[in-house]
Amino acid sequence: MIENILTRRSIRKYTSRPVEEEKLIEILKSAQYAPSAVNKQPWHFLVVDDKDLFKKIMKIHPHSKMLSTASHAIIVLGDEKLQHDVGYWIADCGAATQNILLAAHSLGIGSCWVGLYPREQRMKDISEIFDLPSHVKPFALISLGYADEKKMHPERFNKRKVFRNKWNNPFWHEL
């Protein structure tokens, strides 16, 4: 599992091979096992595989061009009526989004998180395209497909960002 976390990369180019329904179900199931405040699970998931809808999204979101080759997309939605308290849907949907990315990677599916929240115009535009009720907020768009690119796995661990017991007290002490 640790290797799955360390090797996951954002994939923006996909082959024409469609993602199988069984794999989509596993990915969606994984999303719903994310932690949420008081287990309220204030999320919904909109699976998109309509190329015309992809085109509409690409017109309104400047960083969604990978949809031109994606097999599917999942839009993670936060439901304000289901959240534990004001604003909790945001963290809860972030956890579900991470689960989607990791589940996809573990199944050999490439993915890329395309931000919607907190960009109000993007959220409004997505809400209009998909006719969302006012209490349901678009959080993230995740493109999915079989990778048509290889990405290097950079070293991201930085021990200078880890402290012990108080700010600026290094967790590691140099020997």
Q: Convert the pLDDT of each residue in 128-153 to its tens digit.
A: 999 999 999 999 999 999 999 999 88
- Give 11-149's CATH code, choosing from 3.30.2020.30, 3.40.109.10, 3.30.1330.20, 3.90.79.10: 3.40.109.10
Distance between CA atoms of residues 113 and 150, nearest Å: 17
Q: What sign for the dihedral angle of Cα 56, 120, 97, 155?
A: positive
Q: What percent of the chain has pLDDT over 70?
A: 99
Task: Kindly state the tokens that stand for 28.
Answer: 């969606």
Task: Kindly state the tokens that stand for 29.
Answer: 């199931």
Residue 28's nearest CA partner among 100, 125, 110 is 100
- Tell me the Cα Rg of the chain: 18
Task: Kindly state the tokens that stand for 173.
Answer: 């002490």
Position 172 confidence tier, pLDDT thresholds 50, 70, 90? confident
Which residues neighbour 169 within 8 Å (Cβ) at sequence distance 6 or greater? 163
Residue 175 has pLDDT above 80, yes or no: no
Q: Convert the pLDDT of each residue in 147-168 to its tens digit.
A: 999 998 889 999 999 999 999 9
Which residues neighbour 116 within 8 Å (Cβ) at sequence distance 6 or greater? 61, 75, 122, 123, 126, 138, 139, 140, 141
Distance between CA atoms of residues 138 and 130, nearest Å: 10
